Structure 1
Amino acid sequence: MTIPVKLRPEIVALAAYRQGKPASDDAFKLSSNENPFEPIPEVIEAIVGASGVNRYPNATGLELRGAIAERFGVSAGQVHLGAGSVAIIAQLIQAAAGAGDEVLYAWRSFEAYPGLVSVAGASSVQVPVTADGRHDLFAMTAAITDRTRVVIVCTPNNPSSTIVTAEEFTRFMGRVPADVLVLLDEAYAEFVTDPSAVDGRALTGRYPNLVVLRTFSKAYGLAGLRIGYAVGPEYILDAARSTAIPLSVTEPSQRAALVSLLHEDVLLERVARIAVLRDRVWSALVDQGWSVPVPQGNFVWLPTGERTVEATEVFERHGLVVRPFAPEGIRISIGESESVDKLLKAAQEVVGNLTSSAGAPALD
């Protein structure tokens, strides 16, 4: 009889992160919040011209860290690179929280958070979002205890696409104990057009317990290269560096990110086009009868409730792969402009189905 290897029960019980469903050749993939634009030629050239893959990458990433530091007005030591911003969140949680400690965040929010907390051996404290999908920052601060080590604020929130305002965040930070690490997850910051939104760049140096996280995956279209960054106090980022897997940020990703910053105007013009398309989709959804949060990421949220699985099937019949979060709703990325008519046609069918049900959650 084979004796099974002893594994941590909380890890065995943990569901693995589920990537967005791939799309067939005749469908649009709107499930992973990817940038629909192909890389600019300069990025392709940088990837091809990076040092050979038989050599390890530059472990310090100093050139890229310096470029980011210049934009944030900090030193290179206050910038840390990771294989996507989620990797850095994992490092920071492991650096600050362990068995008996708590990590607090809004829910529903980024689906990776619970797993990252469990892997660190800490406990999750999930504070429900408001009815319109926004962080309830007052409730979050009320949930902080002497066991709380980390608080995560995701804005725009994934999957609801809602923001935290600068004023709200200032009040929030005034209530959070100074020895609790706050992570401001701004993976979609470049898509924000609401001038009232919090902006991590304006907070540099203001709070000694704050780390701001961003990524090149979304706005800059480098999702396949996995590179993100954090800006914050150097001693906190040193702790993250201590927990990081060595040499996990590849040379091609560093080169591509540097070139992206050099050609930022071109890439952010694409972001602006996505934001315009997002607002058009949102307005059309409202006209159809949906009660949809005002989106500020590159995606919209449809609160389809208990009929989420059924609604997802409707979108699939229309050639759209979307991201269901049953039994709450569906997240739909803003993709190619050609996908919009299909999206709105499917949404019209879904909202019609919901209208015929008593107490439909998606309608005013």
Structure 2
Amino acid sequence: MTIETIDATVPFPDRRVVTEQPHFELGLSENPFSPLPSVLTALNSVMAHANKYPEFMPDRLPRVIANRIGVDPEQVVVGSGATGVAMQIMQAVMRPGDRIAFTLPNFDGYPIMASIVGVQPTTVPLDTAGRQDLRRLAGVIDRRTSVVVVCRPHNPTGTLLTEDELRRFLAAVPRRVVVVLDEAYVEFVNAANSIDAVELTRKFPNLVVLRTFSKAYGLAGLRIGYAFAAHELAERIRKWQLPFGVNATAVPAVIASYAAENELQARVKRITAEREYLRDALIRRRIRVPRSFANFLYVQGAGVADTLSRAGIIAKPYPDGSARIAAGDPAASRAVLEALAGR
């Protein structure tokens, strides 16, 4: 089988090469684009000073992000990707023997971090539509629960909680329990479904919003993540800030990324358009795929992940045989459709 793939040496997707050994890494929900040209220029300039340490404790990056999202710099905590910041949150508010609640399936990092911190995961299944069951999630909170995680969009299904659902859930959670709103894929949510997360942190002081530059911005390799919350909660989390824990590329990369908003939106539009094309094509083949508001699709069915693997497509597998696949690369979409043609 011959498949066209993207030549990584030129801007996506203007030039293609042909290979007899198809291989697509779609399991990490990575952005198929290289960083924006202006971001690459900023990174090239800072690499000339790679012999110098970054700030001992990050000061500039929280100010840049705070100015962008409309909060005080003291409300922003930064770290090594969203995962690094999530770890800081858990270290700040949890003690060995506590419980962290979330739905399954979910981001694999949460059970791993729970094990590191010495806390016990309490999980509830998704509902039949692949959505987070907030009623059941609220119902498992007990006196030992100190953190609850909610994703918007959800990882791995891409489904989206409504603002009303989220507000009702936050109102039902005891204020002593910290709610992590994981918005790793928030830039892919269209305007009609966006929410004011900053306002939510004002209303609910136990809410911390987690974001990253790894997905839409395409900076996964730089490990730049952040969270924002009410002052008191942010201060607790910041106490676990690792010295020299944010690399020197972070500030110029984020400044350049923010300045290139038009280019970013164009890329998001291309990724989401390809996502919708692929989902429609899969549904026409009677393959179940929830509507996604992220840069991936959750392809349901026994043996889906194995079928893709045999075709040289690496997907994120799940126990029932379903798979999460990153969207955005037209060549990968064709390979997925060809691999699943017989299902």
State if a TM-score over 0.5 links the two structures: yes
- 5+ residue gaps, structure 2, are 1-19
CA distance in 2, matches of 1:158, 1:71: 25
* 1:330 equivalent in alignment to 2:323: yes
1:159-170 correspondence runs (5 A): 159-170=156-167
Match of 1:276 in 2: 273
Residues 155 and 186 in structure 1, CA contact (< 8 A), matched pair in contact too: yes
2:135 corresponds, among 126, 138, 146, to: 138
Contact 1:58 1:251 in 2 (8 A): yes
Which one of 236, 249, 254 corresponds to residue 252 of structure 1? 249
Aligned equivalents of 2:115, 2:24: Cα separation in 1? 34
Is residue 66 of structure 2 the alignment partner of residue 81 of structure 1? no
1:288 aligns with 2:285: yes
Q: Provide the secondary structure at the position in 1 that maps to 2:210.
A: strand
Residue 199 to residue 322, structure 1, CA distance change in 2 (3 Å): farther
Pairing of 1:5-20 with structure 2 (within 5 A)? none
Distance across 1 between alignment mates of 2:111 and 2:313: 28
Contact in 2 for aligned 1:163/1:197 (Cα 8 Å): no
User: Aligned letter for 2:65?
Assistant: I
Name the structure 2 match of 1:30: 26
The yes-or-no answer on 1:217 pairing with 2:239 is no
- Aligned letter for 1:104? A
- The superposition leaves residues 337-359 of structure 1 with CA deviations (integer Å, 9 ceiling, x where unpaired) of 2222211122222xx2xxxxxxx
- Aligned equivalent of 1:47: 43
Using the TM superposition, give the Cα deviation of residue 35 of structure 1 relative to its aligned residue in structure 2, in angstroms: 0.6
Q: Is the 8 A contact 2:100 2:148 kept in 1?
A: yes
Please point out which of 298, 309, 312 is paired with 1:316: 309
Partner of residue 359, structure 1: none
Write the distance in 2 (CA, Å) between the matches of 1:176 and 1:147. Answer: 13
8 Å contact from structure 2 (residues 28, 326) kept in 1? yes
Count of equivalent residues: 324
Question: Structure 1 stretches (4+) deviating beyond 6 angstroms?
Answer: none
For residues 39-92 of structure 1, give each alpha carbon's deviation from its aligned partner in whole angstroms, at most 9, with x where no partner exists: 222212211222622221124433332232123221011111111011111111
Query: d(CA) in 1 for partners of 2:311 and 2:331?
Result: 13
CA contact 2:57–2:245 (8 Å) conserved in 1? no
**Contact persistence 2:300–2:323 (CA under 8 A):** yes
Inter-partner Cα distance in structure 2 for 1:328 and 1:242: 41
CA RMSD of aligned residues (A): 1.9
Determine if contact 1:165/1:197 at 8 Å carries over to the other structure: no
Q: TM-score, normalised by structure 2?
A: 0.89
Kept in 2, the 8 Å contact 1:30–1:335? The answer is: no
Amino acid at match of 2:326: S
| Unmatched runs of 5 consecutive residues or more in structure 1 | 1-23, 353-364
Paired residues of 1:157 and 1:163 also in contact (CA < 8 A): yes
CA contact (8 A) 1:275 1:298 kept: yes
1:236 aligned counterpart, secondary structure:
helix
Name 2:120's counterpart in structure 1: 123
Query: Residues 255-266 of structure 1: matches in 2 within 5 Å?
Result: 255-266=252-263
The residue identity in structure 2 corresponding to 1:36 is P
Q: TM-score scaled by structure 1?
A: 0.84
1:344 equivalenced with 2:337 (yes/no): yes
Of all paired residues, the percent bearing the same amino acid is 37
Residue 235 of structure 1, CA deviation: 2.5
1:205-237 deviations in Å (ceiling 9; x for gaps): 121111101100000000010001101122222
